[in-house]
């Protein structure tokens, strides 16, 4: 099923990206989503977090938020400094906002997946 969803999304973005850039686009999108998710899973397993109380979901949210923020910062380090050189104030606000949005998505998805995957006891 995920492969089917991935194929449909690739076909949808084919019109936006173009014929020559579809494979690099797929690789970048896969790495952008998979790497933070994998690192979040590794960190959660390392700390042996269990979902007993609502505080544990808060911990998983912050771990997912922090890992995604750092990964997004590393992936976009070149464009981050490019935006900062354009216009200092708007560049900083744009960089912070984009990093926080993706980190929020990573934190929410890790908290939701913790509900279904992490051990309860």
Asked if residue 87 has pLDDT above 70, the reply is: no
Between 37-51, 77-91, 93-107, the lowest mean confidence (pLDDT) is in 77-91
Q: What is the mean pLDDT of the chain?
A: 78
Whether 9 contacts 22, CB under 8 Å: no
pLDDT at position 1, please?
Answer: 42
First to last CA, the chain: 30
Tokens of 58: 């808060």
**What whole-number distance in Å separates Cα of residue 81 and Cα of residue 45?**
33
């Amino acid at each position: 099923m995920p492969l089917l969803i991935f194929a449909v999304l690739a076909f949808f973005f084919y019109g936006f990206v173009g014929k020559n850039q579809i494979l690099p686009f797929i690789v970048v999108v896969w790495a952008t989503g998979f790497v933070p998710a994998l690192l979040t899973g590794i960190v959660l397993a390392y700390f042996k977090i269990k979902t007993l109380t609502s505080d544990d979901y808060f911990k998983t949210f912050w771990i997912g938020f922090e890992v995604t923020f750092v990964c997004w910062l590393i992936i976009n380090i070149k464009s981050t400094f490019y935006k900062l050189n354009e216009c200092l104030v708007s560049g900083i606000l744009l960089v912070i906002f984009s990093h926080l949005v993706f980190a929020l998505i990573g934190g929410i998805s890790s908290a939701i997946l913790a509900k279904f995957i992490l051990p309860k006891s």
